[in-house]
């Protein structure tokens, strides 16, 4: 059926050099290339080089690629030809043009493309008009783009008088607003070509600027005439994004391994972290807080037992977990933790004190006593130059990485419970209780009148006569320190985290909700429900590829996992003992691992089940099994650094969907 192809190599000395040379030299428009108008042996059949042995045109009925398909055959084939050319299969593209009778683009489009890329500007302008771009289609604007490129190139090559000529005779008449022309004309003052490129934000005639110009001009030319670049791949990318949006457990990096064109993408749920692979059992009291180092190699845990433990977690291929540091110099339970950006300093808070620890030696660098009530939040600023502390004493302080105070926000409106800084360094989100502290109930023996007044006069009055505290989320502008948004919410707020793109704040809200606030619009974007929280500090976090998931602790002792954008509850993970799961933390470098901590004194690491199809995880299972056996005796003894469950049978990971 297929004609012999080798014969076309009529010019073996330059087989693949001039892709455009394969375009037909004469053709009115692609539509005219339809098989009716296009007889055999006409110049439309691709390159004239094929004329020696023309590829037979295949005549097909209908206009779509399948009888029951809506996809237009000509459009489809032209995209295929474009992709073939992009890849470098020049001969195949020419053959396909010949066989189908469709060309990727007409010779006029090819000519226009050549003019832009070669910088023959006056020819480019007339080519543009020949393409049928009229004043209505923005010919004027398109010419403006061309003249601007011409002007910049003249300046770049030192032809200043030519540049000024272009400015006066081409750009000035096109720009009705002189204000728009000014930035361009001021470029004449640039000292040299490098200065020009920098000031104009333009990468020069030999950079990508001509190709960019072509992309800009493309919008003025009908896409049926000049196909947008990489059109086929663009469509395939759209299909990929659509498939990801349908994949609720999506946690895979974008690699050819995870995205095949042969099958729709869907993530294997076995590759989702939902089973306990490790239980860390050294703390002797409730574990309240967890933070991963930025490297993902260390996990810090803070406990009511007045200590912090830094756990060392081996690389994915060798997941050995060990107690690395036990920081015990705390007089009271430890509430929060924060790793410096380079992971060399760990901060811990203990009542009103902040402690700075050297994470290599475990030495206490400094104890900071600046707050008068418990420190409730610690957050390094995104440039690593220091950190922010907040407290129940309503103060927010800024510290240098040396532990010296840089700034103070004074007394704010709230007894702060948590705060977070957006990674783009623009906002600070604080949550807390309004400073209007509650008044305790009036004794019944008191005059009934006083009690009645209190009840009627205050909407915040609870039935027992005490004022209900007001809970606030306040978004501050970091540069001005002024609140840009303050929202009063009905229940206690216990945790705030910011998404990596700085757009969302994740806030735990009693009773039983986690809220997603859009900081760009100042609106509540989504609520996640299912977890239990009433009186205690329960924390949540984002995690996984692109922060696709939300995880939260819960007072029912389970871990809750939702799909961030769709709000679907994916997993309710059981395993921890009595009491609350107080906090969760997703490993920033391993999208398939997160940790949870509980009143049961333990920390659990959650990972994919060993039965996953991933070869790496299978080898890990083997490794861990061997490891467990060799340590079996020690595991049963008290005081051992870690305990590992036989995670296959014991774990009850109840799936909701």
Partner 1 sequence: MGMSYRRYLAGARVYGCLSCRTHLTTIHSMISRAFNGQHGRAYLFEDVVNVIEGEPNDRQMTTGNHTVRDIYCCKCKTILGWKYEKAYEQSQKYKEGKYILERNLLVDVQ
- Positions touching partner 1 (CB under 8 A) are 286, 288-289, 304, 332-333, 335, 351, 373-374, 376, 392, 415, 417, 433, 436-445, 466, 535-538, 555, 579-580, 582, 599
Q: Residue 187 or residue 350: which is nearer to partner 1 going by CB?
A: 350
Write the Ramachandran bin of 139: left for phi over 0, alpha for psi from -120 to 50, otherwise beta: alpha
Q: How far is the CB of 83 from partner 1 (least distance, A)?
A: 58
Contacts of 498 (CB under 8 A, 6+ apart): 420, 421, 422, 423, 429, 504, 505, 506, 519
How far is the C-alpha of 459 from the C-alpha of 451, rounded, in Å?
14
Q: Residue 69 or residue 372: which is nearer to partner 1 going by CB?
A: 372
Residue 635 sits at the vertex; the CA angle it makes with 629 and 641, to the nearest 5 degrees, is 120
Helix, strand, coil percent content, the chain, rounded in steps of 5: 30, 25, 45
Q: Residue 439 or residue 622: which is nearer to partner 1 going by CB?
A: 439
Q: How far is the CB of 583 from partner 1 (least distance, A)?
A: 9
Q: How far is the CB of 464 from partner 1 (least distance, A)?
A: 8
Q: Residue 422 or residue 583: which is nearer to partner 1 going by CB?
A: 583
From the number of C-beta atoms within 10 Å of its C-beta (0-12, 13-18, 19+), residue 84 rates as buried
Q: How far is the CB of 413 from partner 1 (least distance, A)?
A: 14
Q: Residue 261 or residue 452: which is nearer to partner 1 going by CB?
A: 452
User: Whose structure tokens read 């009905």?
Assistant: 490
Bridge partners of 461?
467
Residue 31 has a CB neighbour count (10 Å cut-off) of 12
Q: In the sheet where 308-313 sits, what is the strand order?
A: 287-292, 298-303, 308-313, 321-327
Q: How far is the CB of 441 from partner 1 (least distance, A)?
A: 5
Residue 278 sits at the vertex; the CA angle it makes with 277 and 280, to the nearest 5 degrees, is 165
Q: How far is the CB of 628 from partner 1 (least distance, A)?
A: 31
Q: Residue 394 or residue 427: which is nearer to partner 1 going by CB?
A: 394
Beta strands in 233-340 (DSSP E): 275-280, 287-292, 298-303, 308-313, 321-327, 334-339
Q: How far is the CB of 440 from partner 1 (least distance, A)?
A: 4
Contacts of 55 (CB under 8 A, 6+ apart): 3, 8, 45, 46, 95, 98, 99
From the number of C-beta atoms within 10 Å of its C-beta (0-12, 13-18, 19+), residue 156 rates as buried
Q: What is the DSSP letter of 431?
A: E
User: Which tokens in the block code for residue 58?
Assistant: 């295949």
Residue 552 near residue 573, CB atoms below 8 Å? no
Q: Residue 162 or residue 370: which is nearer to partner 1 going by CB?
A: 370
Q: How far is the CB of 580 from partner 1 (least distance, A)?
A: 4
Residue 319 has a CB neighbour count (10 Å cut-off) of 18
Residue 524 three-state SS: strand
Q: Residue 248 or residue 377: which is nearer to partner 1 going by CB?
A: 377
Q: How far is the CB of 584 from partner 1 (least distance, A)?
A: 14
* Closest by CA position to 278, among listed 240, 311, 229: 311
Q: How distant is the alpha carbon of residue 23 from its chain centre?
A: 41
Q: Residue 333 or residue 543: which is nearer to partner 1 going by CB?
A: 333
Q: How far is the CB of 388 from partner 1 (least distance, A)?
A: 18
Q: Residue 281 or residue 289: which is nearer to partner 1 going by CB?
A: 289
Q: Could you tell me whether strands 569-573 and 275-280 are parallel, antiparallel, or unpaired per DSSP bridges? A: unpaired
Q: Residue 351 or residue 565: which is nearer to partner 1 going by CB?
A: 351
Q: How far is the CB of 598 from partner 1 (least distance, A)?
A: 9
């Amino acid at each position: 059926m297929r004609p012999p192809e080798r014969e076309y190599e009529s010019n073996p000395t330059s087989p693949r050099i001039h892709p455009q040379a394969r375009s037909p030299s004469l053709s009115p428009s692609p539509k005219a290339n339809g098989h009716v108008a296009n007889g055999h042996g006409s110049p439309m059949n691709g390159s004239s080089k094929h004329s020696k042995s023309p590829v037979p045109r295949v005549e097909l009925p209908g206009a779509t690629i399948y009888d029951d398909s809506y996809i237009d055959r000509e459009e489809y084939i032209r995209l295929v030809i474009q992709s073939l050319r992009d890849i470098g299969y020049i001969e195949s593209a020419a053959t396909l043009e010949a066989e189908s009778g469709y060309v990727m683009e007409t010779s006029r489009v090819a000519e226009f493309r050549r003019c832009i890329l070669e910088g023959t500007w006056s020819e480019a302008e007339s080519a543009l008009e020949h393409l049928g771009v009229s004043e209505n289609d923005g010919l004027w604007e398109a010419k403006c783009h061309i003249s601007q490129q011409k002007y910049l190139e003249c300046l770049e090559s030192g032809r200043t008088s030519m540049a000024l000529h272009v400015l006066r005779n081409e750009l000035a008449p096109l720009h009705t607003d002189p204000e728009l022309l000014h930035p361009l004309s001021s470029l004449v003052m640039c000292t040299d070509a490098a200065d020009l490129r920098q000031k104009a934000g333009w990468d020069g005639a030999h950079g990508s600027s001509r190709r960019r110009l072509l992309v800009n001009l493309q919008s003025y030319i009908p896409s049926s005439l000049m196909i947008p670049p990489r059109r086929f791949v663009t469509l395939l990318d759209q299909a990929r994004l659509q498939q990801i949006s349908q994949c609720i457990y999506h946690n895979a990096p974008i690699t050819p391994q995870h995205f095949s064109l042969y099958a729709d993408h869907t993530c294997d749920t076995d590759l989702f972290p939902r089973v306990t692979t490790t239980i860390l059992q050294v703390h002797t009291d409730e574990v309240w807080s967890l933070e991963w180092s930025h490297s993902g190699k260390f996990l810090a845990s803070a406990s009511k037992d007045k200590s912090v433990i830094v756990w060392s977690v081996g690389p994915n291929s060798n997941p050995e977990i060990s107690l690395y540091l036990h920081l015990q110099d705390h007089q009271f339970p430890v509430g929060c933790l924060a790793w410096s950006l380079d992971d060399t300093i760990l901060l811990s808070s203990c009542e009103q004190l902040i402690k700075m620890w050297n994470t290599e030696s475990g030495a206490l660098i400094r104890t900071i006593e600046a707050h008068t009530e418990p420190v409730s939040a610690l957050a390094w600023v995104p440039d690593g130059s220091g950190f922010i502390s907040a407290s129940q004493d309503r103060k927010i302080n800024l510290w240098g990485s040396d532990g010296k105070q840089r700034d103070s926000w004074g007394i704010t409106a709230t007894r702060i419970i948590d705060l977070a800084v957006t990674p783009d360094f623009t906002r600070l989100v604080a949550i807390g209780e309004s400073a209007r502290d509650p008044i305790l109930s009036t004794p019944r023996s008191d005059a009934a009148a006083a009690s009645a007044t209190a009840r009627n006069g205050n909407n915040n009055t609870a039935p027992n006569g005490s004022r209900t505290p007001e809970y606030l989320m306040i978004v501050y502008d970091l540069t001005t320190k002024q609140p840009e948004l303050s929202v009063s919410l009905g229940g206690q707020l216990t945790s705030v985290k910011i998404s990596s793109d700085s757009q969302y704040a994740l806030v735990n809200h009693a009773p039983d909700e986690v809220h997603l606030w859009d900081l760009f619009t100042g609106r509540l974007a989504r609520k996640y429900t299912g977890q239990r929280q009433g009186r205690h500090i329960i924390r949540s976090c984002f995690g996984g590829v692109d922060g696709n998931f939300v995880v939260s602790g819960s007072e029912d002792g389970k871990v809750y996992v939702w799909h961030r954008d769709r709000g679907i509850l994916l997993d309710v993970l059981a395993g921890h003992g009595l009491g609350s799961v107080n906090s969760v933390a997703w490993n920033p470098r391993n999208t398939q691992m997160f940790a949870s901590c509980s009143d049961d004194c333990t920390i659990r690491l959650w990972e994919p089940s060993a039965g996953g199809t991933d070869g790496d995880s299978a080898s890990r299972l083997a490794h861990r099994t061997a490891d467990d056996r060799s340590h079996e005796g020690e595991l049963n003894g008290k005081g051992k650094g870690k305990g590992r469950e036989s995670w296959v049978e014991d774990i009850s990971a109840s799936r909701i969907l």
